[in-house]
A = this chain, B = another copy of it.
Amino acid sequence: MKNPIITISRQCGSNGHNIGCELAKRMGVPFYDKKIIEMTAKKSGFGEKFIEENGEYRKNNILSDISRGLLYGEKNSYGDFEPLQNQIYNMQTKIILELAEKGSCVIVGRSADHILRNRKDILNVFICADMEFKIKHIMERDNLTKDEAEKTIRRRDKSRASHYHYYTEKKWGYAPNYHLCLDSSKIGIEGCITMIEEACYCV
């Protein structure tokens, strides 16, 4: 496929961000990860940290829902209060659809695979890795102990899975939801980049 849009979903610590970044460089196309946070923050008036936490992660408790929904909610077109997280999701959706219209690119996270599901020129990738590999990466990146790193990984992935399921009604990480899934701890970072490039020729 010429000029595909590549979406990368990834487990925390699997190096999905770095794989996407390097892939975009080699393909000479834009890379969107933090950029989407910046754009959503600008559009909404909220801080980037707040957008990052609410644009891809979902905590499963009522207090969280209340603080995200009723306290900050605005009325939607039906006159009902629209929970804040929905507003952020809707903004991100618009931004991702607009970015995809500009042409080939690499987009990391934010359910972009689902948001762009009606496009034919898309390759949806999921990057995972074994726990030992992920712990090592997060310990180094965030300067954490082994236990802290493992807790961080489990918390973030649970929260990403919950956010994805809430907005897409699909299971995060379930292979049939993607075109290509790669274990970066087995195949290697360089191997993953090569394989994604290879897949672009195949599709």
A183 touches B179 (CB 8 A): yes
CB-CB under 8 A for A180 and B183, given A191-B203, A194-B198, A202-B191 = yes
Count of chain copies: 2
* Among candidates B175, B183, B187, B202, residue contacting A128 with C-beta atoms closer than 8 Å: B175
Bound state CA distance, A180 and B191, in angstroms?
Answer: 11
A173 on the B face (CB < 8 A):
yes
Contacts of A11 in B (CB 8 A): 176
Contacts of A195 in B (CB 8 A): 180, 195, 198-199, 202
A194 touches B186 (CB 8 A): no
A103 on the B face (CB < 8 A):
no
A47 on the B face (CB < 8 A):
no
